[in-house]
Amino acid sequence: MKAFALERLVPAHVRAFEAYVPAPPDDVLLRRFGVTHLHRLNNNENPLGPPPAARAVLARRDAGEAALYPQGDGWHLRRTLARHFDLEPEQVILGNGASEVIAFVIKTFCEPGDNILTADRTFAVYEWMASFSGIEPRLVPLLDHGFDDVGMLRAIEGRTRVVFLCNPNNPTGSWWDHARLARFLAAVDGRAIVVVDEAYAEFAEAPGFPDSFALMRQHPNLVVFRSFSKMWGLAGLRIGWMAASPPVAAMVRKTSISYSVNLLALEAARATVWDLAHIAATQAHCRAMRAGLAALAGRLGLEMLGGIGNFAMLRMPIPDTVVHRRLMARGVMARAMTSFRYAGWLRVSFGDAEAMAAFAAALEAVLAEG
Amino acid sequence: MMQRAAAPAEPVTEEPALRLPPGPRFAAVGAEFVRGAGLASGIEPRLAERLALIAEEVLAAAPPQAGLVGLALRDRRHAVRLDVEFTSTELDLAGLDQSRVRDLEDGEDVGLYLAARLADRLTTEPARRGGLVLGFELARSYPPAPSASVPEALGPLAGLPVDPDDATLALLVDWAEAVGEGGPAFRTAPRVLDQRRVGDLFARVALDARRRPVGGIFWQPFGRRLMALSGPALLLPEGDARQALAAALLEAALAALARGATQGLVVLEPAQVLPGAFEVVGHLPGAAGGQHPVLFRAMEEDPGGIAWVSPGLSAWVTAMVRRLGLGRDIEAPPPPARALGAAMAAETDRAAARVTLRPLLAAGDAAAVAERNVALFRGQGFAQIRALLDLGQPGHAAFAEGLMRAGLAPAALIPDAAGDLLLLADGA
Could you give all domains of chain A from N- to C-terminal order, each with its CATH number?
9-49+277-369 (3.90.1150.10), 52-58+67-272 (3.40.640.10)
Using a CB-CB distance cutoff of 8 angstroms, which residues of chain A are in contact with residue B260?
A: 18
Using a CB-CB distance cutoff of 8 angstroms, which residues of chain A are in contact with residue B324?
A: 322, 325
| Correct CATH for B166-277 of 2.40.50.140, 1.20.810.10, 3.40.630.30, 3.30.950.10 | 3.40.630.30
Measured between CA atoms, the residue of chain B closest to residue A4 is B129
Q: Tell me, what's the pLDDT at B75?
A: 87
Instruction: Judge if B14-141 and B166-277 fold alike in CATH terms.
Output: no
Residue from A305, A231, A302, A232 nearest A269 by CA: A232
Q: Tell me, what's the pLDDT at B273?
A: 58
Question: Which residue of A1, A28, A43, A321 is the best one to mutate when testing the B interface, meaning the one whose CB has the most B CBs within 10 A?
Answer: A321
ipTM over 0.90: no
Q: Tell me, what's the pLDDT at B96?
A: 62
Q: Tell me, what's the pLDDT at A211?
A: 97
* Identity of the amino acid at B115: A
The residues of chain B scoring below 70 in pLDDT are 1-13, 88-111, 113, 124, 126-130, 271-276, 287, 350, 428
Measured between CA atoms, the residue of chain B closest to residue A318 is B276
Q: Is B106 on the interface with A (CB under 8 A)?
A: no
Cis geometry, peptide bond prior to residue A274 (ω within 30 degrees of 0)? yes
CB A139 within 8 A of CB A119: yes
Q: Tell me, what's the pLDDT at B6?
A: 36
Using a CB-CB distance cutoff of 8 angstroms, which residues of chain B are in contact with residue A141?
A: 160
Of B255, B278, B303, the CB nearest to A23: B303
CA separation (Å) from B272 to A355, B165, B202, B226, B263? 39, 24, 18, 20, 22
Q: Which residues of A192-228 are buried (b: 16+ CB within 10 A; e: fewer)?
A: bbbbbbbbbbbbbeeeebbebbebbeebebbbbbbbb
pLDDT by residue for chain A (370 residues), tens digit each?
A: 556 778 789 999 998 888 888 889 999 999 999 999 999 999 999 999 999 999 999 999 999 999 999 999 999 999 999 999 999 999 999 999 999 999 999 999 999 999 999 999 999 999 999 999 999 999 999 999 999 999 999 999 999 999 999 999 999 999 999 999 999 999 999 999 999 999 999 999 999 999 999 999 999 999 999 999 999 999 999 999 999 999 999 999 999 999 999 999 999 999 999 999 999 999 999 999 999 999 999 999 999 999 999 999 999 999 999 999 999 999 999 999 999 999 999 999 999 999 999 999 999 999 999 8
**What ranges do the domains of chain B cover?**
14-141, 166-277, 297-428
Residue ranges of A 331-370 with Cβ closer than 8 A to chain B: 335-336, 338-341, 343-344
Report the C-alpha gap between A103 and A96 in whole angstroms.
Answer: 11
Distance from CA of A25 to the nearest CA of B (A): 10
Look at the domain B297-428 and name its fold: Aminopeptidase (3.40.630)
Using a CB-CB distance cutoff of 8 angstroms, which residues of chain B are in contact with residue A124?
A: 259
Q: Is B331 on the interface with A (CB under 8 A)?
A: no
Look at the domain B14-141 and name its fold: Heat Shock Protein 90 (3.30.565)
Distance from CA of B283 to the nearest CA of A (A): 18
Q: Tell me, what's the pLDDT at B270?
A: 79
Using a CB-CB distance cutoff of 8 angstroms, which residues of chain A are in contact with residue B323?
A: none
CA separation (Å) from A98 to A209, A216, A225, B197? 20, 19, 7, 39
Distance from CA of A188 to the nearest CA of B (A): 27
Q: Tell me, what's the pLDDT at B379?
A: 82
pLDDT in tens, B135-149: 888 988 898 878 888
Report the C-alpha gap between B161 and B13 in whole angstroms.
Answer: 31
Of A5, A120, A324, the CB nearest to B301: A324
